[in-house]
């Protein structure tokens, strides 16, 4: 996940004065919406944003790495000022919505209008109230603890336990107790929606959800249709994986815990949010299927630490021709959970000065999941560095799914051959072709299982923002969507005194989630294109482009574009195509799909 505050750094009062003068002419006044005025507006706005950026980023970093009364106070104040400034900038940019402008100016005006995640109304105190609420929601999540088996347990400990515990009663206990952490968020969340929706309407959008969907170089309704098209390509794979996994869980637990038909019980899927089923591999491995290798075990035996895991991930990027991370990365990053204070342990990548002060914040544990995660997070950092010479408004991904897909594309290269090349696996330990089903199943349990969850999170929020879901049925609507898309059900009774959506970081912290769905489509497009460029001729899922400078040169050209061009241009620069397409993911998993259809023959699939 990329971490970028709404606005970052110290204020230039000269720039603000110039900007205020530019905004002084009321909308609709003769000559106030000319192309020249728009260009002057953009230049003043970019100057202000660039000069504010570092200050706000450092406050956000302090809060994320040391949660206490004072850091909360600083973040609330900083966020309120940031929101007020961004709303002002977006509102002013709205004056030029219908003005004929040069392409570059038009793009920057539109980016200004769409740059807020949660806009506040331009009424006194609204930004302060919104900031207070969002900070409280974030802190409730990040400081959450539960009592489990006589000890206090944090979420990162719970995530490990959920993946290893097989006792259904204990899984239900952990799941229920963690979801209870979110219950106090319910009232705050409803009020936050009211404030932010009014802010979105002030900016010319129907609601916040429409505003989010408008940020993809196409109208909101077309983007929503695009998402459904992509899901239609991939849904059959999920339905087969769900059917196969449910059958194996029924065989392990019996009908009393998991029946052979209907939804799967959420807590027995090996993950707090049932979004990644990778830890189920020992239970769902094909009968007679030999274990390939255990990456966690390989890392442990090689005495890897959080630092060496990060160094190894860095070497993948430098093997493609990119420069090493700066010394300050190693001095200032947070790679393990401190023992003396609360922190936001959710992994994120940071660029604090829009130049070289790039960092990662991740409470790394030595396991396969976190090994992949650190490859992913460094993707954000190398992307940030690649586009740092772009104008401020273009210092971002082509769209938010690009930023998430970069590191995941690299993580797809963590194949047996890559593990051989970095010395974790011996050549004679590389699984034979007969093990391909197992290798693909391991990937599908992480990748295919995630897709409908990624849709559910924002489908719920879009419906909350547009009023289809009201505070009176927050929880019911959440579980209706999760059953519809994921085919899962909660392990304990849920009612409207609870707020189960808030048990997910991205809802408590208001991070749009569609980006992750799109990133899963894009990462396979990037991966297939890179493997074709490298001349790879074997099975796609065994390809690695580690050490391929030619692929790296073309890859970096896309990264350097940042957000300067519409995303189809960036996509074409690396893949040669202008449309997001689930076809690469389909081709990657096709051998597994055929195998699962055979395994599921005679089963009642669906839910």
| Nearest-angstrom CA–CA distance, 600 and 300 | 36
The answer to whether residues 531 and 505 belong to one domain is no
User: pLDDT per residue over 255-285, tens digit each?
Assistant: 999 999 999 999 999 999 999 999 999 999 9
The answer to whether residues 235 and 343 belong to one domain is no
Domain boundary among 458, 485, 512: 512
Number of domains in the chain: 3
The answer to whether residues 409 and 544 belong to one domain is yes
The answer to whether residues 522 and 504 belong to one domain is no
Provide the phi-psi class of 285: left if phi over 0, else alpha when psi is between -120 and 50, else beta: beta
Q: Strand 348-351 and strand 358-361: pairing?
A: antiparallel
> Which structural domain range is residue 393 located in?
295-430+515-599
C-alpha 183 chain-centroid distance: 23
The answer to whether residues 108 and 43 belong to one domain is yes
SS3 track for 215-247: CCCCCHHHHHHHHHHHHHHHHHHHHHHHHHHHH
Catalytic residues: 377, 506
Contact 411, 404 (CB under 8 A): no
Average pLDDT over residues 533-562: 96
Sign of CA dihedral 236, 242, 245, 246: negative
Average pLDDT over residues 132-158: 91
Q: To 5 degrees, how large is the angle CA 98–CA 103–CA 109?
A: 55
CA atoms within a 13 Å half-sphere pointing along the CA-CB vector of 344: 27
Residue 451: both structure tokens together: 């897709």
Domain boundary among 496, 512, 528: 512
Q: Confidence band (pLDDT; 50, 70, 90) for 2? A: low
Sign of CA dihedral 504, 413, 382, 224: negative
The answer to whether residues 473 and 574 belong to one domain is no
Contact 277, 262 (CB under 8 A): no
Is the residue at 328 inside a domain?
Answer: yes
Q: Which helix (H) or strand (E) holds 204?
A: none
- What pLDDT, on a 0 to 100 scale, did the predictor assign at position 113? 87
Check whether 465 has a pLDDT greater than 50.
yes
Is the residue at 606 inside a domain?
Answer: no
Average pLDDT over residues 301-319: 97
Report DSSP letters for 95-151, one per residue.
GGTTS---HHHHHHHHHHHT--SSPPPSSTTHHHHHHHHHHHHHHHHHT--EEETTE
Is the residue at 197 inside a domain?
Answer: no
The answer to whether residues 172 and 270 belong to one domain is yes
Average pLDDT over residues 63-87: 91
| Nearest-angstrom CA–CA distance, 114 and 126 | 19
Check whether 137 has a pLDDT greater than 90.
yes
Angle of helix 436-447 versus helix 220-253 axis, rounded to 10: 120
Contact 391, 354 (CB under 8 A): no
- Secondary structure (3-state) at 348: strand
Residue among 454, 502, 463 nearest 482 (CA): 454
Cβ atoms within 10 Å, residue 300: 12
- What pLDDT, on a 0 to 100 scale, did the predictor assign at position 7? 32
The answer to whether residues 500 and 567 belong to one domain is no
- What pLDDT, on a 0 to 100 scale, did the predictor assign at position 383? 97
Q: Confidence band (pLDDT; 50, 70, 90) for 376? A: very high
Average pLDDT over residues 283-300: 85
Check whether 228 has a pLDDT greater than 60.
yes
Domain boundary among 497, 512, 527: 512
Cβ atoms within 10 Å, residue 518: 24
Within 8 A by CB and 6+ apart from 426, the residues are 420
- What pLDDT, on a 0 to 100 scale, did the predictor assign at position 80? 86
Check whether 409 has a pLDDT greater than 90.
yes
- What pLDDT, on a 0 to 100 scale, did the predictor assign at position 155? 85
Between the two ends of the chain, the Cα-to-Cα distance in Å is 32
Residue among 293, 334, 339 nearest 431 (CA): 293
Is the residue at 350 inside a domain?
Answer: yes
The answer to whether residues 550 and 506 belong to one domain is no
The answer to whether residues 367 and 263 belong to one domain is no
- Secondary structure (3-state) at 549: helix
Task: Report, in angstroms and rounded to the nearest whole number, the Rg of the chain calculated over CA atoms.
Answer: 24
pTM passes above 0.95 = no
User: pLDDT per residue over 496-546, tens digit each?
Assistant: 999 999 999 999 999 999 999 999 999 999 999 999 999 999 999 999 999
Check whether 447 has a pLDDT greater than 70.
yes
| Nearest-angstrom CA–CA distance, 304 and 296 | 10
Q: Confidence band (pLDDT; 50, 70, 90) for 295? A: very high
């Amino acid at each position: 996940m990329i971490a970028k505050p709404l606005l970052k750094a110290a204020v230039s009062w000269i720039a603000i004065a110039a900007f205020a003068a530019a905004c002084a002419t009321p909308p609709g006044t003769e000559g106030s919406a000319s192309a020249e005025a728009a260009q002057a507006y953009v230049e003043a706005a970019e100057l202000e944003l660039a000069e504010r950026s570092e200050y706000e980023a450092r406050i956000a970093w302090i809060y994320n790495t040391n949660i206490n009364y004072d850091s909360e106070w600083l973040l609330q104040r900083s966020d309120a000022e940031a929101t007020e400034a961004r709303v002002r900038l977006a509102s002013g940019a709205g004056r030029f919505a219908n003005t004929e402008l040069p392409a570059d100016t038009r793009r920057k005006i539109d980016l200004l209008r769409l740059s807020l995640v949660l806009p506040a109304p331009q009424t006194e105190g609204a930004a302060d109230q919104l900031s207070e609420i969002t900070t409280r929601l974030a802190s409730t999540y990040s400081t959450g603890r539960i009592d489990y088996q006589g000890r206090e347990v944090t979420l990162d400990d719970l995530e490990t336990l959920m993946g290893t515990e097989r006792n259904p009663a204990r899984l239900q206990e952990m799941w229920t107790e963690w979801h209870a952490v979110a219950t106090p968020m319910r009232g705050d969340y409803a009020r936050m929606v009211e404030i932010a929706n009014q802010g979105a309407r002030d900016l010319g959008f129907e609601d916040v959800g429409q505003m989010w969907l408008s940020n993809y170089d196409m109208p909101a309704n077309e983007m929503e249709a695009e998402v459904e098209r992509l899901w239609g390509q991939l849904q059959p794979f999920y339905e087969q994986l769900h059917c196969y996994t449910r059958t194996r869980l029924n065989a392990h637990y019996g009908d009393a815990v998991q029946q052979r038909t209907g939804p799967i019980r959420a807590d027995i899927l090996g993950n707090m949010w049932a979004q990644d089923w990778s830890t189920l591999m020992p239970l769902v491995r094909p009968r007679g299927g030999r274990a390939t290798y255990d990456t966690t075990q390989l890392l442990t035996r090689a005495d890897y630490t959080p630092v060496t895991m990060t160094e190894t991930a860095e070497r993948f990027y430098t093997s493609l021709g990119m420069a090493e991370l700066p010394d300050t990365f190693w001095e200032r990053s947070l790679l393990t959970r401190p023992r003396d204070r609360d922190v936001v342990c959710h992994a994120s990548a940071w660029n604090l000065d829009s130049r070289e002060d790039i960092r990662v914040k991740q409470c790394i544990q030595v396991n396969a999941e976190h090994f992949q995660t650190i490859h992913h997070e460094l993707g954000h950092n190398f992307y940030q560095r690649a586009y740092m010479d772009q104008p401020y408004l273009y210092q971002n991904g082509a769209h938010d799914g690009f930023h998430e897909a970069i590191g995941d594309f690299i993580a797809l290269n963590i194949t047996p051959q890559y593990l051989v090349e970095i010395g974790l696996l011996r050549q004679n330990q590389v699984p034979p072709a007969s093990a391909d089903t197992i290798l693909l199943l391991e990937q599908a349990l992480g990748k295919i299982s995630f897709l409908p969850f990624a849709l559910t999170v924002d489908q719920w929020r879009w419906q909350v923002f547009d009023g289809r879901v009201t505070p009176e049925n927050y929880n019911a609507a959440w579980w209706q969507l999760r059953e519809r898309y994921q085919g899962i059900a909660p392990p304990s009774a849920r009612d409207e005194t609870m707020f189960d959506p808030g048990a997910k970081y991205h809802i408590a912290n208001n991070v749009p989630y569609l980006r992750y769905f799109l990133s899963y489509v894009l990462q396979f497009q990037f991966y297939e294109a890179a493997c074709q460029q490298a001349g790879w001729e074997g099975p796609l899922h065994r390809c690695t482009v580690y050490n391929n400078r030619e692929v790296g040169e073309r890859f970096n050209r896309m990264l350097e574009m940042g957000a300067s061009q519409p995303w189809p241009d960036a996509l074409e620069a690396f893949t040669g195509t202008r449309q997001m397409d689930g076809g690469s993911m389909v081709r990657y998993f096709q051998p597994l799909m055929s195998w699962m259809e055979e395994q599921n023959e005679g089963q009642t699939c669906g839910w």
